[in-house]
Amino acid sequence: MSEQALTGADVLGDEETTDPTDESAPKKGIEVPLGRPSVVVSRLSVHYRVPSSERGGPDRSSKVLRRLGLARNVTVRAVDDVSFVARSGESVGVVGHNGSGKSTLLRVMAGLETPTRGSVLATETPSFLGVNAALLPELSGMENIRLGLLAMGKTPAEVKETIPEVLDLAAIGRSIHLPMKTYSSGMGARLRFSIAAAARPHILLIDEALATGDAASKERGEKKMAEIRADAGTIFLVSHAAQTIEEMCTRAIWLHEGQMVADGPAYETARAYRWWAWNIAKGETDKAAGLLEDARARLSETTPPRESDEPKGRAARRRARQGQN
């Protein structure tokens, strides 16, 4: 999606219709002590070759494809050379407009997609919670709780003991006994999160699943996330609504067209993204482009230089030659 095609709803979300530079009463994520590294993402890239209906250039191959009625293939860089380290106790938000690579990043971290290059190392297998997490719509919420907890490795006795905690966090009342297909999006999201959180995962990946909740459910979710992190857990929360990241996370990563633009305190990063998004929505594309470059420059200043991709022996010989000169 091009910057010019973005609308206010795309980049700001329903909750972000106020001036993002307003500094009044900021709400920030709950801080807990940080521990050892739990997730290491190193030079991660996910590229796809897909057909494109865009008209090709004047070269011979493009002309032949057009005459045959075939589409040419292009490379989509969904995630492009992203690196970071997350520690236990952190709540890391990932912001960016639609198509920036947020969900792809989480899916690779969860082991649901294979990267083109790079690696993801984690102390434990991450638990992935998406908007479409696999619960059965024909079954009641209560039946889905039991199945979900069993699928996460709990014994029948542990399931019985944990159900009250899930019910309290989901807070959907007597609807828990109705088929899930009758639930609103917010009710379904709360139940999915409650089941995943009750399993106490050490690494929890949340893809937009909290975006549909109301203020009270978000506050309950934030407290539960803080409990998980206090038990040496790490949480990643993906959302295009930067205010959610600002209020529920302690650190944030801003992705743009698959590349990392910023990585820092959630409040600062989310505000920077919202100010960029505000200018895009207002048609101030030149100013937005400048903000993007400023964010990239700040990131490069705080990121240590990477080792060369060259084999170590070759890189050492090159450095030796440079020293002689």
Comparing C-alpha atoms, which of 214, 276, 217 is closest to residue 242? 276
pLDDT digits (tens, 9 = 90+) for 119-151: 999 999 888 875 445 678 899 999 999 988 888
Domain 27-126+203-304 coded CATH 1.10.3720.10: no
Give yes or no for a contact between 221 and 248, defined as CB atoms under 8 angstroms apart: yes
Structure tokens at 218: 């978000």
**Which secondary-structure segment (H or E) carries 304?**
none
- What's the mean pLDDT when you consider all of the chain? 79
Mean pLDDT on 101-130: 91
Q: What are the pLDDT digits (tens) for 202-217?
A: 898 988 755 555 666 6
Instruction: Say whether pLDDT at 320 is over 80.
Output: no
In three-state secondary structure terms, 83 is: strand
Residue 209 is encoded by which pair of tokens?
């699943």
| Highest averaged pLDDT of the listed ranges 14-18, 71-75, 312-316 | 71-75
Q: Write down the domain spans for the chain.
A: 27-126+203-304, 132-200
Distances (CA, A) of 259 to 177, 183, 275, 299: 44, 36, 18, 12
Strands 251-256, 259-265: parallel, antiparallel or unpaired by DSSP? antiparallel
Segment 154-176 shows an average pLDDT of 92
Q: How confident is the model at residue 27 (pLDDT cuts 50, 70, 90)?
A: low
The percent of residues in the chain predicted with pLDDT above 90, rounded, is: 43
What is the length of the chain? 325
- Arithmetic mean of pLDDT, 292-312: 72
pTM: 0.75
Sheet order of strands, 37-52 included = 72-87, 37-52, 117-122
**Would the pLDDT of 60 be above 50?**
yes
